[in-house]
Structure 1
Amino acid sequence: MLAQVVLFDGFDPLDAIGPYETLTAGGIHAELVTAEGPREVESGARLSLKATAALDPERPGIVLVPGAAGVAEDEIVPLLAAAAGTLAGPMEQALDTPGLTVATVCGGSLVLAMAGLIGGRTATTNHLGLRALESMGVNAVRARIVDDGDLVTAAGVTSGVDLGLYLVEREVGAQKALEVETLFAHERRGTAWRAA
């Protein structure tokens, strides 16, 4: 199984690296990608990471979209909007691909909502963005993880590790998730909301 972690200019590094490391430790191959292909990508925290491949929205597995980080809070919404413009087409394809789970951390769900891709779906984001998510037609739930089938979203920036553990448990098994939790000396917290 492949997990494609999508980088975009201004991404939040912890949103990307937390789940990347967790998924990798859980036996899921993870790769840093962009919509444009291999390149150096500067985060909103002024830390650069190198994407090694282009996003393949038709490849089964996991596609994970992080949120954005900015030096000032008013920088974040423009970064999310720019990402929504760049990722709208590929993420629409990803959401239509059988066997592919789209996951987000923090403002990643806002990227999908701004692109008009998750209206009517159930998702979460950082508590500061829940009203914005609702205003875009998303059923926003205040939970650590929201599992809406092929769309799994996580709340604030620190929930990325919990999201990774949740996906490891869902895709590989509870025993492997527990092993990673123990390895990382991390105890999952918060509610995991699931669609009925």
Structure 2
Amino acid sequence: MNIQIVLFDGFDLLDAIAPYEVFTAAAMYSNENITVELVSAEGERMVTSGVNHLQIQTSSKLDLTRKGIILVPGASGSVHDNGSESIPMKLQQATETNLSHLLKEAIKKPDILLSTVCGGSLILAMSGLLENRHAVTHHMGMGLLSATNAIPVIARIVDDGNIVTGGGVTSGLDVALYLVERELGPRIAHAVEQLFEYERRGTVWRAEGHAPRENQQEKIIEPTSANALIKPNMNFDYQGKWDTTISTPIGKLPVLLDFNNIDGQIIGTAKQGKDLVTLDNLIVEGIQLKWSMKVSKPMSLKLNFIVSVDGDNMIGEAKAGMLPASKLIGHRIL
């Protein structure tokens, strides 16, 4: 069995090294030939971590011809701003490399198991790989999972078949021990636990068995999509077509918005290129419009908008989970 732990610039050290230690220990107890490697999407190189910019050497390029496990760690950095050193930006930058393409190919292969620790699941989600799949990430990123149409589950580990995801940074130990148990058996996993003097935490969530009658402890966050039937502010003139631009971190996105009031119901659409989508949860509050909508560029996301209208001018922002807010400006054209 081959385990490839994928490093990218800004990766979190504990996310990667804790599983590396677990898998290496499991290899000592198994009669099966097990290899554990640190790899990258680009090949052999020095990869800079997000903590103190520690550099670690990868041995080779992520190889999709090798059967086994691919593990993707999260990123480390600032959680208090949206600058280049922030975790959301580092995760997004990782999706803009060849890693995203390789993961899209890996998920198609029946002999490869994709696994993640902490924000690693957000890299999968931002690459469009978790749509309608159960997953978990760090608690601060659960909103972004939902925005990418994943099904967030509040659990330590979520097993969704060929994708296994873990929660916060320390879950790397738990994810790796669970994968050892799943692939090599509980006796070897137990031997590693004894060696490390650590017992795996929490019940692994799987879509199996009876659903709890009163679902208080286990929680699945389901996305919603319905236009709100809220009486609009009749003094607020928002109707018409609006030529807007959303300034995302990786470029400007032109969107044509169209708002109408039909029999007291607020209706809105957005045209992005050739794609026309209906605005969800559209409401008016004072002189502000709020709604959510799905976009396909720069990645597949469900964005939440809040904008203000002043005459024929519009200004506001779009937000998806922990990703940096994107400024929206526009003007009425009809």
Q: What is the TM-score with the length of structure 1 in the denominator? A: 0.97
Matched with 2:92 is 81
CA distance in 1, matches of 2:101, 2:9: 17
Measure the CA separation in 2 of the matches of 1:50 and 1:72. Answer: 26
**CA apart distance, 1:59:** 2.0
Distance 2:130 2:79 in 1: 27
Q: Which residue of 1 aligns with 2:77?
A: 70
Of 101, 108, 119, which aligns to 1:96? 108
CA distance in 1, matches of 2:96, 2:163: 19
Q: How many angstroms apart in 1 are the aligned matches of 2:143 and 2:79? A: 20
Query: 2:136 is matched by which residue type in structure 1?
Result: T
Q: Distance in 1 between matches of 2:96 and 2:144?
A: 17
Answering whether residue 125 of structure 2 is matched by residue 113 of structure 1, we say: yes
Task: Give the aligned partner of residue 128 of structure 1.
Answer: 140
Identity %: 53
* Greater displacement, 150-159 / 71-80: 71-80
Question: Could you tell me which residue of structure 2 aligns to residue 54 of structure 1?
Answer: 61
Paired residue for 2:42, among 10, 21, 36? 36
CA gap of 1:178–1:60, structure 2 versus 1, over 3 A, is same
Deviations 1:99-118 (A, max 9, x none): 11000000000001111111
Counterpart amino acid of 2:13? P
> Which structure ranks higher in relative contact order (CA pairs < 8 Å, sequence separation ≥ 6)?
1
* Amino acid paired to 1:10: G
Describe the SS at the equivalent of 1:96: coil
1:57 positional shift: 2.4
Q: Aligned letter for 1:39?
A: R
SS at match of 1:36: coil
Paired residue total? 196
Does the CA-based 8 Å contact 1:44-1:71 persist in structure 2?
no
Q: Which amino acid in structure 1 is aligned with residue 36 of structure 2?
A: A
Where in structure 2 are there 5+ consecutive unaligned residues? 28-33, 209-334
Aligned-partner Cα distance in 2 for 1:187–1:51: 29
1:185 aligns with 2:191: no
Deviation, structure 1 residue 72 = 5.1
Report the structure number with the largest CA radius of gyration: 2
- Alpha-carbon displacement from aligned partner over 1:51-75 (angstroms, at most 9, x marks no partner): 0010012321000000000145431
Gaps of 5+ in 1: none
Residue equivalent to 1:156? 168
Partners in 2 of 1:114 and 1:105 — Cα distance?
Answer: 15
Structure 1 runs (4+) greater than 3 angstroms displaced = 71-74
Q: TM-score, normalised by structure 2?
A: 0.57
Q: Which has the higher strand share?
A: 2
Paired with 2:133 and 2:79, the residues of 1 have a C-alpha distance of 30
- Inter-partner Cα distance in structure 2 for 1:147 and 1:104: 11
The one-letter amino acid of 2:35's match is H
What SS class does the counterpart of residue 96 from structure 2 fall into?
A: helix
Q: Specify whether residues 73 and 19 from structure 1 end up closer, same or farther in structure 2 by C-alpha distance, changes over 3 A only.
A: farther
